[in-house]
Amino acid sequence: MTGRRDEGVDDHLTIEHFSEVARRPGSSPARATLQHLVSRCPECRRHWQQLHQLQPVYLACLDGIEFVPPRAPREEPLDDLDTSCGAIASQEVAVAELRRLHQRAKEELWLLLRLPREQRAGTIRGAYRRFRSRQLAEMLIRECRVRVRNDPADAQALAELIPLVLRWAGGTTAPTWVRGLLTRATALRGNALRIAGDLPGAERVFMGLRGELAVRPLTDAGVLGDLWALEASLRKDLLQFADAEQLVSMAALAYELCGDRLGLARARIKQGNLLLVAGRPDEIVPLLNQAESLLGADPDPWLLLCTVVVRINALADLGHFGRANSLLLRQSARFERSNDASSLGGFRCVQGRVAFGLGRFDEAAACFSASRDAMLSVGRPYDAAWSSLYLTATHRAAGQPGHAERLARDLVPEFRARGVDIQATRAVDILSGRFTR
Protein backbone atom coordinates (compact mmCIF):
# COMPACT_ATOMS: atom_id res chain seq x y z
CA MET A 1 0.00 0.00 0.00
CA THR A 2 1.49 3.30 -1.05
CA GLY A 3 0.57 6.91 -0.57
CA ARG A 4 1.69 10.14 1.03
CA ARG A 5 1.69 9.98 4.81
CA ASP A 6 -0.45 12.63 6.51
CA GLU A 7 1.12 14.56 9.38
CA GLY A 8 0.48 13.20 12.84
CA VAL A 9 -0.17 9.64 11.68
CA ASP A 10 2.01 6.91 13.18
CA ASP A 11 3.79 4.53 10.83
CA HIS A 12 2.07 1.46 12.25
CA LEU A 13 -0.90 0.47 14.39
CA THR A 14 0.19 -1.71 17.32
CA ILE A 15 -1.65 -3.70 19.97
CA GLU A 16 -0.54 -1.09 22.51
CA HIS A 17 -2.15 1.61 20.39
CA PHE A 18 -5.44 -0.35 20.26
CA SER A 19 -5.39 -0.87 24.03
CA GLU A 20 -4.89 2.85 24.58
CA VAL A 21 -7.71 3.79 22.18
CA ALA A 22 -10.06 1.22 23.74
CA ARG A 23 -9.64 2.85 27.17
CA ARG A 24 -10.81 6.24 25.90
CA PRO A 25 -14.55 6.94 26.47
CA GLY A 26 -16.56 6.69 23.26
CA SER A 27 -13.58 5.58 21.18
CA SER A 28 -13.53 2.86 18.51
CA PRO A 29 -10.33 0.98 17.65
CA ALA A 30 -11.94 -0.34 14.46
CA ARG A 31 -12.84 3.16 13.31
CA ALA A 32 -9.30 4.29 14.13
CA THR A 33 -8.01 1.55 11.84
CA LEU A 34 -10.23 2.78 9.01
CA GLN A 35 -9.13 6.39 9.49
CA HIS A 36 -5.50 5.26 9.46
CA LEU A 37 -5.93 3.39 6.17
CA VAL A 38 -7.93 6.16 4.47
CA SER A 39 -5.45 8.84 5.54
CA ARG A 40 -2.41 6.94 4.23
CA CYS A 41 -3.58 5.16 1.07
CA PRO A 42 -5.15 7.00 -1.91
CA GLU A 43 -6.63 3.74 -3.22
CA CYS A 44 -8.33 2.98 0.13
CA ARG A 45 -9.58 6.58 0.23
CA ARG A 46 -11.06 6.27 -3.29
CA HIS A 47 -12.92 3.06 -2.48
CA TRP A 48 -14.20 4.52 0.78
CA GLN A 49 -15.58 7.57 -1.04
CA GLN A 50 -17.34 5.32 -3.56
CA LEU A 51 -19.50 3.82 -0.79
CA HIS A 52 -21.53 7.06 -0.65
CA GLN A 53 -24.62 6.44 1.53
CA LEU A 54 -23.25 3.12 2.78
CA GLN A 55 -20.54 4.87 4.82
CA PRO A 56 -22.75 5.29 7.95
CA VAL A 57 -23.62 1.58 7.77
CA TYR A 58 -19.96 0.56 7.77
CA LEU A 59 -19.14 3.02 10.56
CA ALA A 60 -21.98 1.64 12.70
CA CYS A 61 -20.64 -1.88 12.16
CA LEU A 62 -17.14 -0.76 13.12
CA ASP A 63 -18.41 1.00 16.25
CA GLY A 64 -20.08 -2.26 17.28
CA ILE A 65 -16.77 -4.15 17.26
CA GLU A 66 -15.54 -4.52 20.81
CA PHE A 67 -11.79 -4.61 21.36
CA VAL A 68 -10.94 -7.59 23.58
CA PRO A 69 -7.29 -8.20 24.53
CA PRO A 70 -6.03 -11.67 23.62
CA ARG A 71 -7.01 -14.36 26.13
CA ALA A 72 -4.41 -16.45 27.85
CA PRO A 73 -4.02 -19.82 26.09
CA ARG A 74 -5.56 -21.73 29.05
CA GLU A 75 -8.88 -19.85 28.89
CA GLU A 76 -11.75 -21.46 26.99
CA PRO A 77 -13.99 -19.29 24.76
CA LEU A 78 -17.15 -20.40 26.64
CA ASP A 79 -15.87 -19.68 30.15
CA ASP A 80 -18.29 -16.75 30.58
CA LEU A 81 -21.41 -18.63 29.43
CA ASP A 82 -24.12 -18.74 32.10
CA THR A 83 -25.28 -22.37 32.34
CA SER A 84 -27.15 -22.09 35.61
CA CYS A 85 -30.63 -23.64 35.94
CA GLY A 86 -32.14 -20.19 36.37
CA ALA A 87 -30.59 -18.88 33.15
CA ILE A 88 -31.74 -21.92 31.15
CA ALA A 89 -35.28 -21.65 32.50
CA SER A 90 -35.37 -17.94 31.64
CA GLN A 91 -34.34 -18.69 28.06
CA GLU A 92 -37.04 -21.36 27.75
CA VAL A 93 -39.68 -18.90 28.94
CA ALA A 94 -38.48 -16.30 26.37
CA VAL A 95 -38.62 -18.85 23.53
CA ALA A 96 -42.13 -19.95 24.53
CA GLU A 97 -43.29 -16.31 24.61
CA LEU A 98 -41.85 -15.66 21.15
CA ARG A 99 -43.70 -18.69 19.79
CA ARG A 100 -46.93 -17.48 21.36
CA LEU A 101 -46.55 -14.01 19.85
CA HIS A 102 -45.74 -15.50 16.44
CA GLN A 103 -48.83 -17.71 16.50
CA ARG A 104 -51.04 -14.80 17.57
CA ALA A 105 -49.66 -12.65 14.73
CA LYS A 106 -50.41 -15.45 12.22
CA GLU A 107 -54.03 -15.55 13.44
CA GLU A 108 -54.31 -11.75 13.26
CA LEU A 109 -52.93 -11.71 9.70
CA TRP A 110 -55.44 -14.39 8.70
CA LEU A 111 -58.27 -12.28 10.14
CA LEU A 112 -57.08 -9.13 8.34
CA LEU A 113 -56.77 -10.88 4.97
CA ARG A 114 -60.31 -12.21 5.24
CA LEU A 115 -61.70 -8.68 5.65
CA PRO A 116 -62.61 -6.46 2.69
CA ARG A 117 -59.74 -4.14 1.90
CA GLU A 118 -61.60 -1.02 2.99
CA GLN A 119 -62.37 -2.44 6.47
CA ARG A 120 -58.85 -3.45 7.53
CA ALA A 121 -57.56 -0.07 8.74
CA GLY A 122 -60.68 0.59 10.81
CA THR A 123 -60.42 -2.85 12.39
CA ILE A 124 -56.84 -2.16 13.51
CA ARG A 125 -57.70 1.30 14.86
CA GLY A 126 -60.70 -0.03 16.77
CA ALA A 127 -58.88 -2.91 18.44
CA TYR A 128 -57.67 -2.49 22.00
CA ARG A 129 -54.89 -5.08 22.19
CA ARG A 130 -55.01 -6.99 18.90
CA PHE A 131 -52.99 -6.10 15.80
CA ARG A 132 -50.16 -4.46 17.75
CA SER A 133 -46.93 -6.39 17.34
CA ARG A 134 -43.61 -6.42 15.57
CA GLN A 135 -44.35 -9.96 14.37
CA LEU A 136 -47.54 -8.86 12.59
CA ALA A 137 -45.73 -5.94 10.91
CA GLU A 138 -43.02 -8.29 9.63
CA MET A 139 -45.64 -10.74 8.32
CA LEU A 140 -47.44 -7.91 6.51
CA ILE A 141 -44.14 -6.95 4.84
CA ARG A 142 -43.63 -10.53 3.63
CA GLU A 143 -47.21 -10.66 2.38
CA CYS A 144 -46.69 -7.39 0.46
CA ARG A 145 -43.67 -8.84 -1.32
CA VAL A 146 -45.60 -11.91 -2.42
CA ARG A 147 -48.81 -10.13 -3.46
CA VAL A 148 -47.28 -7.21 -5.30
CA ARG A 149 -46.52 -9.27 -8.42
CA ASN A 150 -50.14 -10.20 -9.07
CA ASP A 151 -52.15 -7.67 -7.04
CA PRO A 152 -50.17 -4.43 -6.58
CA ALA A 153 -53.25 -2.56 -5.32
CA ASP A 154 -53.72 -5.03 -2.46
CA ALA A 155 -49.98 -4.96 -1.69
CA GLN A 156 -50.14 -1.18 -1.45
CA ALA A 157 -53.13 -1.40 0.90
CA LEU A 158 -51.29 -3.89 3.13
CA ALA A 159 -48.19 -1.68 3.26
CA GLU A 160 -50.36 1.21 4.42
CA LEU A 161 -51.51 -0.86 7.42
CA ILE A 162 -47.99 -1.28 8.83
CA PRO A 163 -47.75 2.23 10.42
CA LEU A 164 -51.07 1.51 12.17
CA VAL A 165 -49.76 -1.81 13.50
CA LEU A 166 -46.61 -0.11 14.82
CA ARG A 167 -48.33 2.94 16.30
CA TRP A 168 -47.91 1.51 19.83
CA ALA A 169 -44.12 1.69 19.38
CA GLY A 170 -44.01 5.24 17.99
CA GLY A 171 -42.67 8.43 19.49
CA THR A 172 -39.18 9.73 20.06
CA THR A 173 -38.19 6.69 22.16
CA ALA A 174 -39.18 4.10 19.54
CA PRO A 175 -36.69 1.23 19.05
CA THR A 176 -34.51 1.47 15.96
CA TRP A 177 -36.20 -1.57 14.39
CA VAL A 178 -39.47 0.39 14.20
CA ARG A 179 -37.99 2.92 11.81
CA GLY A 180 -36.52 0.10 9.73
CA LEU A 181 -39.92 -1.57 9.34
CA LEU A 182 -41.62 1.74 8.53
CA THR A 183 -38.98 2.50 5.88
CA ARG A 184 -39.48 -0.95 4.32
CA ALA A 185 -43.26 -0.43 4.35
CA THR A 186 -42.97 2.92 2.58
CA ALA A 187 -40.58 1.50 -0.02
CA LEU A 188 -42.97 -1.41 -0.65
CA ARG A 189 -45.83 1.04 -1.10
CA GLY A 190 -43.78 2.95 -3.66
CA ASN A 191 -42.91 -0.29 -5.43
CA ALA A 192 -46.59 -1.26 -5.56
CA LEU A 193 -47.39 2.10 -7.18
CA ARG A 194 -44.62 1.45 -9.74
CA ILE A 195 -45.92 -2.00 -10.64
CA ALA A 196 -49.46 -0.63 -10.90
CA GLY A 197 -48.15 1.88 -13.47
CA ASP A 198 -48.18 5.04 -11.33
CA LEU A 199 -44.53 5.95 -11.92
CA PRO A 200 -44.88 9.63 -10.86
CA GLY A 201 -46.57 8.55 -7.62
CA ALA A 202 -43.84 5.99 -6.95
CA GLU A 203 -41.16 8.60 -7.59
CA ARG A 204 -42.74 10.94 -5.04
CA VAL A 205 -42.64 8.16 -2.42
CA PHE A 206 -38.97 7.39 -3.01
CA MET A 207 -37.96 11.04 -3.13
CA GLY A 208 -39.69 11.50 0.23
CA LEU A 209 -37.69 8.59 1.64
CA ARG A 210 -34.46 10.07 0.26
CA GLY A 211 -35.22 13.39 1.98
CA GLU A 212 -35.91 11.65 5.28
CA LEU A 213 -32.71 9.61 5.11
CA ALA A 214 -30.69 12.73 4.35
CA VAL A 215 -31.87 14.19 7.68
CA ARG A 216 -31.88 10.95 9.69
CA PRO A 217 -29.56 8.35 8.13
CA LEU A 218 -30.26 4.66 8.64
CA THR A 219 -27.52 2.18 9.49
CA ASP A 220 -29.46 -1.05 8.88
CA ALA A 221 -27.81 -2.54 5.78
CA GLY A 222 -30.74 -4.88 5.06
CA VAL A 223 -33.28 -2.05 5.06
CA LEU A 224 -31.08 0.15 2.88
CA GLY A 225 -30.51 -2.75 0.47
CA ASP A 226 -34.27 -3.24 0.07
CA LEU A 227 -34.83 0.49 -0.39
CA TRP A 228 -32.13 0.89 -3.05
CA ALA A 229 -33.11 -2.31 -4.89
CA LEU A 230 -36.75 -1.21 -5.13
CA GLU A 231 -35.84 2.32 -6.24
CA ALA A 232 -33.50 0.82 -8.85
CA SER A 233 -36.53 -0.92 -10.39
CA LEU A 234 -38.32 2.43 -10.55
CA ARG A 235 -35.34 4.15 -12.20
CA LYS A 236 -35.18 1.34 -14.75
CA ASP A 237 -38.87 1.78 -15.58
CA LEU A 238 -38.29 5.54 -15.92
CA LEU A 239 -35.41 4.69 -18.31
CA GLN A 240 -32.89 6.36 -15.96
CA PHE A 241 -30.43 3.54 -16.36
CA ALA A 242 -27.30 5.15 -14.87
CA ASP A 243 -29.15 5.87 -11.62
CA ALA A 244 -30.60 2.35 -11.62
CA GLU A 245 -27.14 0.78 -12.02
CA GLN A 246 -25.70 2.82 -9.15
CA LEU A 247 -28.61 1.98 -6.85
CA VAL A 248 -28.57 -1.75 -7.53
CA SER A 249 -24.78 -1.84 -7.02
CA MET A 250 -25.22 -0.16 -3.64
CA ALA A 251 -28.01 -2.62 -2.81
CA ALA A 252 -25.74 -5.56 -3.64
CA LEU A 253 -23.03 -4.16 -1.35
CA ALA A 254 -25.56 -3.73 1.46
CA TYR A 255 -26.87 -7.28 1.06
CA GLU A 256 -23.33 -8.67 1.09
CA LEU A 257 -22.59 -6.69 4.25
CA CYS A 258 -25.59 -8.07 6.16
CA GLY A 259 -25.35 -11.60 4.70
CA ASP A 260 -28.73 -11.56 2.92
CA ARG A 261 -28.26 -14.25 0.25
CA LEU A 262 -31.79 -13.91 -1.17
CA GLY A 263 -31.51 -10.13 -1.40
CA LEU A 264 -28.14 -10.44 -3.13
CA ALA A 265 -29.61 -12.95 -5.61
CA ARG A 266 -32.39 -10.47 -6.44
CA ALA A 267 -29.79 -7.72 -6.90
CA ARG A 268 -27.75 -9.87 -9.30
CA ILE A 269 -30.86 -10.59 -11.37
CA LYS A 270 -31.62 -6.85 -11.51
CA GLN A 271 -28.04 -6.18 -12.61
CA GLY A 272 -28.49 -8.74 -15.38
CA ASN A 273 -31.62 -6.99 -16.57
CA LEU A 274 -29.81 -3.65 -16.59
CA LEU A 275 -26.98 -5.13 -18.66
CA LEU A 276 -29.61 -6.19 -21.21
CA VAL A 277 -30.91 -2.64 -21.38
CA ALA A 278 -27.34 -1.32 -21.71
CA GLY A 279 -26.77 -3.58 -24.73
CA ARG A 280 -24.28 -5.88 -22.96
CA PRO A 281 -26.10 -9.25 -22.90
CA ASP A 282 -22.84 -11.20 -23.18
CA GLU A 283 -21.86 -10.08 -19.65
CA ILE A 284 -24.86 -11.42 -17.72
CA VAL A 285 -23.95 -15.12 -17.42
CA PRO A 286 -21.64 -14.73 -14.35
CA LEU A 287 -24.29 -12.64 -12.58
CA LEU A 288 -27.04 -15.19 -13.20
CA ASN A 289 -24.77 -18.08 -12.21
CA GLN A 290 -24.05 -16.33 -8.93
CA ALA A 291 -27.76 -15.63 -8.40
CA GLU A 292 -28.64 -19.29 -8.90
CA SER A 293 -25.90 -20.42 -6.51
CA LEU A 294 -27.19 -17.97 -3.89
CA LEU A 295 -30.72 -19.34 -4.28
CA GLY A 296 -29.42 -22.74 -3.20
CA ALA A 297 -30.86 -26.22 -3.56
CA ASP A 298 -34.43 -25.14 -2.68
CA PRO A 299 -34.76 -21.86 -4.61
CA ASP A 300 -37.62 -19.40 -4.62
CA PRO A 301 -39.62 -20.56 -7.69
CA TRP A 302 -40.36 -17.02 -8.87
CA LEU A 303 -36.72 -15.87 -8.67
CA LEU A 304 -35.59 -19.00 -10.51
CA LEU A 305 -38.07 -18.23 -13.30
CA CYS A 306 -36.69 -14.67 -13.39
CA THR A 307 -33.19 -15.99 -14.09
CA VAL A 308 -34.56 -18.11 -16.95
CA VAL A 309 -36.36 -15.13 -18.52
CA VAL A 310 -33.19 -13.00 -18.35
CA ARG A 311 -31.12 -15.78 -19.96
CA ILE A 312 -33.59 -16.17 -22.83
CA ASN A 313 -33.74 -12.40 -23.37
CA ALA A 314 -29.93 -12.26 -23.44
CA LEU A 315 -29.74 -15.02 -26.07
CA ALA A 316 -32.40 -13.21 -28.12
CA ASP A 317 -30.46 -9.93 -27.89
CA LEU A 318 -27.36 -11.75 -29.13
CA GLY A 319 -29.34 -13.16 -32.05
CA HIS A 320 -28.98 -16.77 -30.82
CA PHE A 321 -32.64 -17.62 -31.33
CA GLY A 322 -32.03 -21.34 -31.79
CA ARG A 323 -30.32 -21.61 -28.38
CA ALA A 324 -32.97 -19.38 -26.85
CA ASN A 325 -35.68 -21.67 -28.23
CA SER A 326 -33.96 -24.76 -26.80
CA LEU A 327 -33.76 -23.18 -23.34
CA LEU A 328 -37.36 -22.04 -23.63
CA LEU A 329 -38.56 -25.55 -24.47
CA ARG A 330 -36.62 -27.05 -21.55
CA GLN A 331 -38.16 -24.60 -19.08
CA SER A 332 -41.69 -24.30 -20.51
CA ALA A 333 -43.16 -27.00 -18.24
CA ARG A 334 -41.94 -25.15 -15.15
CA PHE A 335 -43.65 -21.94 -16.29
CA GLU A 336 -46.86 -23.69 -17.30
CA ARG A 337 -47.09 -25.25 -13.81
CA SER A 338 -46.65 -21.87 -12.16
CA ASN A 339 -49.71 -20.26 -10.60
CA ASP A 340 -48.01 -16.87 -10.80
CA ALA A 341 -49.79 -14.91 -13.54
CA SER A 342 -47.08 -12.24 -13.81
CA SER A 343 -44.39 -14.93 -14.29
CA LEU A 344 -46.49 -16.56 -16.99
CA GLY A 345 -46.98 -13.15 -18.64
CA GLY A 346 -43.22 -12.59 -18.67
CA PHE A 347 -42.68 -16.05 -20.13
CA ARG A 348 -45.22 -15.39 -22.91
CA CYS A 349 -43.27 -12.24 -23.77
CA VAL A 350 -39.95 -14.09 -24.18
CA GLN A 351 -41.78 -16.79 -26.14
CA GLY A 352 -42.90 -14.04 -28.48
CA ARG A 353 -39.36 -12.66 -28.79
CA VAL A 354 -38.00 -16.07 -29.76
CA ALA A 355 -40.83 -16.71 -32.23
CA PHE A 356 -40.24 -13.25 -33.76
CA GLY A 357 -36.53 -13.96 -34.15
CA LEU A 358 -37.31 -17.25 -35.89
CA GLY A 359 -39.71 -15.47 -38.28
CA ARG A 360 -42.88 -17.04 -36.84
CA PHE A 361 -44.82 -13.78 -36.73
CA ASP A 362 -48.30 -15.19 -36.12
CA GLU A 363 -47.04 -17.14 -33.11
CA ALA A 364 -45.14 -14.10 -31.87
CA ALA A 365 -48.24 -11.89 -32.11
CA ALA A 366 -50.29 -14.44 -30.16
CA CYS A 367 -47.63 -14.62 -27.44
CA PHE A 368 -47.31 -10.85 -27.09
CA SER A 369 -51.10 -10.50 -26.93
CA ALA A 370 -51.26 -13.18 -24.22
CA SER A 371 -48.48 -11.44 -22.29
CA ARG A 372 -50.26 -8.10 -22.51
CA ASP A 373 -53.56 -9.63 -21.35
CA ALA A 374 -51.86 -11.44 -18.44
CA MET A 375 -50.24 -8.23 -17.22
CA LEU A 376 -53.50 -6.31 -17.49
CA SER A 377 -55.32 -9.03 -15.56
CA VAL A 378 -53.03 -8.53 -12.55
CA GLY A 379 -53.06 -4.73 -12.63
CA ARG A 380 -49.72 -4.11 -14.36
CA PRO A 381 -50.54 -1.74 -17.26
CA TYR A 382 -46.95 -0.50 -17.64
CA ASP A 383 -45.63 -4.01 -18.32
CA ALA A 384 -48.60 -4.59 -20.60
CA ALA A 385 -47.61 -1.50 -22.58
CA TRP A 386 -44.14 -2.94 -23.21
CA SER A 387 -45.71 -6.17 -24.49
CA SER A 388 -47.78 -3.99 -26.80
CA LEU A 389 -44.58 -2.40 -28.13
CA TYR A 390 -43.35 -5.84 -29.15
CA LEU A 391 -46.75 -6.56 -30.68
CA THR A 392 -46.49 -3.32 -32.68
CA ALA A 393 -43.14 -4.39 -34.10
CA THR A 394 -44.54 -7.81 -34.97
CA HIS A 395 -47.43 -6.32 -36.95
CA ARG A 396 -44.97 -4.13 -38.87
CA ALA A 397 -42.71 -7.06 -39.65
CA ALA A 398 -45.71 -9.15 -40.74
CA GLY A 399 -46.76 -6.45 -43.22
CA GLN A 400 -49.72 -5.17 -41.20
CA PRO A 401 -48.94 -1.44 -40.83
CA GLY A 402 -52.53 -0.53 -40.01
CA HIS A 403 -52.58 -2.64 -36.85
CA ALA A 404 -49.15 -1.32 -35.87
CA GLU A 405 -50.10 2.33 -36.27
CA ARG A 406 -53.25 1.93 -34.18
CA LEU A 407 -51.27 0.30 -31.38
CA ALA A 408 -48.55 2.97 -31.55
CA ARG A 409 -51.09 5.79 -31.30
CA ASP A 410 -52.51 4.20 -28.14
CA LEU A 411 -49.09 3.63 -26.61
CA VAL A 412 -47.81 7.21 -26.80
CA PRO A 413 -50.35 8.64 -24.29
CA GLU A 414 -50.01 5.45 -22.22
CA PHE A 415 -46.31 6.10 -21.68
CA ARG A 416 -46.65 9.88 -21.39
CA ALA A 417 -49.06 9.43 -18.49
CA ARG A 418 -46.28 7.60 -16.66
CA GLY A 419 -43.55 10.19 -17.11
CA VAL A 420 -41.60 8.55 -19.96
CA ASP A 421 -43.08 10.51 -22.85
CA ILE A 422 -39.88 11.44 -24.75
CA GLN A 423 -38.37 7.97 -24.50
CA ALA A 424 -41.67 6.28 -25.32
CA THR A 425 -42.20 8.36 -28.46
CA ARG A 426 -38.67 7.58 -29.55
CA ALA A 427 -39.21 3.86 -28.86
CA VAL A 428 -42.34 3.83 -31.02
CA ASP A 429 -40.47 5.64 -33.79
CA ILE A 430 -37.67 3.08 -33.64
CA LEU A 431 -40.17 0.29 -34.21
CA SER A 432 -40.84 1.60 -37.69
CA GLY A 433 -37.42 0.43 -38.77
CA ARG A 434 -36.45 -2.55 -36.61
CA PHE A 435 -37.34 -4.52 -33.52
CA THR A 436 -35.33 -3.44 -30.45
CA ARG A 437 -35.68 -3.50 -26.72
pLDDT at position 86 is 62
pLDDT at position 84 is 59
Burial of 356 (0-12, 13-18, 19+ CB in 10 A): buried
Predicted model pTM: 0.78
pLDDT at position 379 is 86
Complete DSSP assignment for 379-422 = T-HHHHHHHHHHHHHHHHHTT-HHHHHHHHHHHHHHHHTTT-HH
The yes-or-no verdict on residue 53 having pLDDT over 50 is: yes
pLDDT at position 12 is 65
pLDDT at position 5 is 44
Q: How is the chain split into domains, by residue range?
A: 320-437
381 contact partners, CB below 8 Å, separation of at least 6: 196, 197, 375, 414
If one compares 243 and 297, the residue with the highest pLDDT of the two is 243
Provide mean pLDDT across the span 343-365: 91
Find out whether 58 and 51 touch, Cβ atoms under 8 Å.
yes
- Provide the CA 39 distance to its chain's centre, in angstroms: 34
Provide mean pLDDT across the span 371-393: 86
pLDDT at position 9 is 45
Could you tell me what percent of the chain has a pLDDT over 90?
39
What gap in Å lies between CA 381 and CA 379, rounded to an integer? 6
What gap in Å lies between CA 159 and CA 162, rounded to an integer? 6
Alpha-carbon torsion, ordered 198, 200, 205, 207, to 10 deg: 150
Specify the amino acid at residue 207.
Answer: M
Confidence of residue 434 (pLDDT cuts 50, 70, 90): very low
The yes-or-no verdict on residue 193 having pLDDT over 90 is: yes
Find out whether 405 and 386 touch, Cβ atoms under 8 Å.
no
What gap in Å lies between CA 7 and CA 382, rounded to an integer? 57
- For the segment(s) 320-437, the CATH number from 1.25.40, 2.60.120, 1.20.1440, 1.10.3210 is 1.25.40
Question: What are 95-154's pLDDT values in tens digits?
Answer: 777 788 888 889 989 999 999 999 999 999 988 888 888 899 999 999 999 999 889 999
Find out whether 236 and 274 touch, Cβ atoms under 8 Å.
yes
Provide mean pLDDT across the span 269-282: 90
pLDDT at position 436 is 42
Q: What is the DSSP letter of 283?
A: G
Phi, psi (degrees; rounded to nearest 5) at 161: -80, -20
The C-alpha angle 290, 256, 280, rounded to 5 degrees, equals 45
